[in-house]
Structure formats: C-alpha cells, structure tokens
C-alpha cells in the first residue's frame, strides 16, 4: 500500500508540474481532444455529482469545441461507474466525476474490482462538502453538548437518520456515537431527499445531512444545525461550530467532488485536462454556482487531490473498522 501511495503521489506531481505548460500550449496542441468525450457520473441524474458534472462538462465542451457526454452509471455506491472508468482506454476520452464514497467503499466491501491509487489518475478536486448535524425543532437541544446530554439521559431512545448505509452520514453517525459515548438508533434512508423530508417533518430525532441537500432549507426555521463536519464553518452558518470546535475529533475529512482519469493516460493529455478543469472551476460564475449549492469551491491541482485521497482514506477506514460497518 505504501508503494502504491508513493507512486500515486508521484504521478499526480508529474501531472501538476505540466499544467502550466499544457495551458500555455493549449491553442497550439490540436491533437487532444479531437472527438467527443465521455464524463461518467456513478450516481443518478439530478444529484449533486450530476449537477457539477454537467456544469463543468458544458464549459469543457465550449472551450474545446467537442461534445462532452455526461453518462450516469449509478449502482453499488458508485462502484459500477468508477469501475467503468478504471477499465476504460486510458486516452483521456473517458473521465470520471467521483465523490468521497470512492475512498470509503474499499473499507466497506470485502472485494473491490479496482484499486483507487493503482487504477485512477487524479485530475482536480472541484469542490468540498460537509455534513450538518441537525435536529428538528421538537428536540430541545440547542448545542451538541445539550444533545449529548439528552442522549445519555435516554440511551437507545433517540434516533439519527443517514442518507444511506455506508454513506458519509452513516459513518459520521457511528463516529458520533463512539466519540460522544452515546447510544443512538440508526435510521438509514434511501437518499438525502427523504431524509430531509423527515427532518422537516420531525419524524427523526436527529440526522447527518449533506450541506447540498440541506442548503435550500437552512432558513426554514424547521430544524436547528448543531454542528458541521470538516475543518471550517459554513459561510451561511457562521455561528455553527465544527465538531472539533465542540470538542469532538475525528470529523475532519470533508466530502468532495473530483475529476479522475484511468491510470496510464498520457501525461500531456492529463496535463491539458487538469489545467482546463481547474481554469473552469476558478471562474467567478462557476464558483458562485458551486457556492450556491452550499459547497466550497476548490479547483485543485492533481497533487492536492492525490493528497486528499491518500490522507483521508485511512481515516475513513478507521471509522469503518472501529464502528464495525460492513456492507457485504
């Protein structure tokens, strides 16, 4: 694993080192792309990953004067779509818009059809996300400390909802139980939309909801946000502390949306894609669109994305191991 990690980081650094060259020579290099590109999204149409893929894909198409076809391939927590790209011809014409589940699944499933650091090439981290810990108004807690006190007073009586088994919200919920020393009943939902609906209706005592799904309801007055995962407060919720600020560690890894290529893609091709995706993601209008979704725009280099993958993978794995979560 250490060998794979060193190779992965070295590969990303090599790509990142060529980004300026690729950007400077973009108008002169007409070899790539010279045909339509495929952008695989391993999740259904209409979700956050799909929205970002279509946003960036449209701009790529305009910049390169080639169609970018967004291909939704949902299934098995994103594994199906990820595997399609891992096994695609490494020529730069099949791209992947992946999310955090890409590095969580290897710990949740005993058998994986690919190795993230062996079979993928990092391109750019487009945006970061966080989960919000929320309670409906009927729950009297106004801080994480108050909720923990309620839970300790009634062990096994309060519930927390997640947007699915094995998702970030499930892992955060189990981590919360362990770090706070409380007993909550896990209620997994089939996606964020029904979870948010039940939070608004007060059918669940608490929940970890991704910020994109909760964003439209932050000012609804129907629930309170007691904490946020990651390392930074949300710009729309400046008074809400991170879990670390509230004295609970282990919630630092952010959710993310990132572009990848199959391993073995020629460096000049990867350089050009990395430079173009970063250029697009840095545009004020694109950054505003991402911020409006409740996300933190990033537009990273390949090296920065590779570092996130390498640093966060063992952290998620430790949560899965400690909480004894297994999906197969």
- What does DSSP say about strands 37-41 and 68-72: parallel, antiparallel, or unpaired? parallel
Cα(137)–Cα(299) distance, integer angstroms: 37
- What does DSSP say about strands 255-262 and 120-129: parallel, antiparallel, or unpaired? antiparallel
Residue 13, both tokens: 């650094």
Q: What is the pLDDT of residue 317?
A: 97
Query: Torsion angle, CA of 208/200/98/107, rounded to 10 degrees?
Result: 30
Cα(91)–Cα(189) distance, integer angstroms: 38
pLDDT band at 24 (very low <50, low <70, confident <90, very high): very low
Cα(252)–Cα(244) distance, integer angstroms: 8
H or E element that contains 319:
helix 302-323
Q: Say yes or no to pLDDT of 104 above 70.
A: yes
Q: What is the pLDDT of residue 328?
A: 85
Q: What is the pLDDT of residue 17?
A: 57
Cα(164)–Cα(217) distance, integer angstroms: 20
Cα–Cα nearest to 309, from 14, 64, 102, 52: 102
Q: Quote the Cα angle for 126-129-130, to 5°.
A: 165
pTM of the predicted model, to two decimals? 0.90
Q: Say yes or no to pLDDT of 176 above 80.
A: yes
Strand order in the sheet with 185-188: 185-188, 159-162, 207-210, 131-136, 223-228
Q: Say yes or no to pLDDT of 289 above 90.
A: yes
Q: What is the pLDDT of residue 32?
A: 95
Cα(265)–Cα(259) distance, integer angstroms: 13
Q: What is the pLDDT of residue 12?
A: 65
Q: What is the pLDDT of residue 127?
A: 97
CA distances from 145 to 141, 232, 243, 248 (A): 8, 19, 11, 10
Please provide the average confidence, as pLDDT, over all residues in the chain: 93
Q: Helix 267-282 vs helix 2-17: angle between axes, to the nearest 10 degrees?
A: 70
236-253 average pLDDT score: 96
177-188 average pLDDT score: 98
Q: Say yes or no to pLDDT of 14 above 50.
A: yes
Q: Say yes or no to pLDDT of 292 above 80.
A: yes
**Beta carbons of 193 and 220 less than 8 angstroms apart:** no
3-state secondary structure of 228: strand
pLDDT band at 22 (very low <50, low <70, confident <90, very high): very low
> What share of the chain has pLDDT > 70, as a percent?
91
H or E element that contains 313:
helix 302-323
4-13, 55-64, 140-149, 237-246: the lowest-pLDDT one: 4-13
CA distances from 206 to 37, 45, 280, 320 (A): 42, 27, 37, 21
Domains of the chain: 2-129+255-323 (3.40.190.150), 131-228 (3.40.190.10)
Contacts of 144 (CB under 8 A, 6+ apart): 133, 180, 226, 227, 241, 243, 246, 248
pLDDT band at 31 (very low <50, low <70, confident <90, very high): confident
Q: What is the pLDDT of residue 19?
A: 52
Q: What is the pLDDT of residue 30?
A: 56
3-state secondary structure of 62: helix
DSSP bridge pairs for 187: 161
What's the count of helices (H) and strands (E) in the chain, helices before strands? 13, 11
Q: What is the pLDDT of residue 26?
A: 41
Q: Say yes or no to pLDDT of 25 above 50.
A: no
278-306 average pLDDT score: 96
Residue written as token pair 């391939």: 73
Contacts of 159 (CB under 8 A, 6+ apart): 184, 185, 186, 187, 204, 205, 206
147-176 average pLDDT score: 97
102-119 average pLDDT score: 97
pLDDT band at 7 (very low <50, low <70, confident <90, very high): low
Longest dimension (CA), the chain: 68
Residue written as token pair 């990395």: 274
Residue 84 has a CB neighbour count (10 Å cut-off) of: 19
């Amino acid at each position: 694993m250490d060998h794979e990690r060193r190779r992965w980081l070295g590969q990303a650094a090599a790509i990142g080192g060529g980004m300026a060259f690729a950007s400077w020579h973009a108008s002169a290099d007409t070899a790539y792309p010279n045909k339509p590109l495929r952008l695989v999204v391993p999740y259904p149409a209409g979700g956050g990953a799909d929205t970002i893929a279509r946003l960036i894909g449209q701009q790529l198409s305009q910049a390169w004067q080639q169609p970018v076809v967004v291909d939704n391939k949902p299934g098995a927590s994103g594994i199906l779509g990820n595997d399609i790209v891992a096994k695609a011809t490494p020529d730069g014409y099949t791209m992947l818009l992946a999310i955090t589940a890409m590095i969580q699944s290897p710990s949740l499933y005993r058998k994986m059809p690919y190795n993230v650091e062996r079979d993928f090439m990092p391109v750019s981290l487009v945006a970061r996300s966080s989960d919000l810990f929320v309670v409906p108004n009927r729950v009297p807690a106004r801080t994480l400390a108050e909720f923990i006190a309620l839970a300790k007073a009634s062990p096994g009586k309060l519930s927390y909802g997640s947007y699915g088994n094995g998702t970030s919200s499930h892992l955060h919920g189990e981590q919360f139980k362990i770090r706070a020393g409380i007993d909550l009943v896990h209620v997994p939902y089939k996606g964020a939309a029904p979870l948010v609906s039940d939070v608004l209706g007060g059918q669940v005592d608490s929940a970890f909801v991704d910020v994109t799904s909760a964003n439209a309801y932050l000012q609804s007055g129907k629930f309170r946000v007691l904490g946020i995962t990651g390392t930074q407060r949300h710009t729309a919720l400046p008074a809400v502390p991170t879990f670390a600020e509230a004295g609970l560690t282990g919630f630092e890894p952010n959710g993310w949306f990132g572009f990848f290529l199959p391993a073995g893609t020629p460096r000049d091709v990867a350089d050009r894609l990395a430079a173009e995706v970063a250029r697009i993601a840095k545009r004020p209008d694109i950054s505003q669109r991402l911020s409006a979704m409740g996300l933190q725009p990033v537009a990273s280099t390949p090296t920065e994305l590779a570092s996130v993958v390498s640093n966060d993978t063992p952290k998620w794995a430790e949560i899965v191991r400690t909480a004894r979560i297994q999906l197969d």
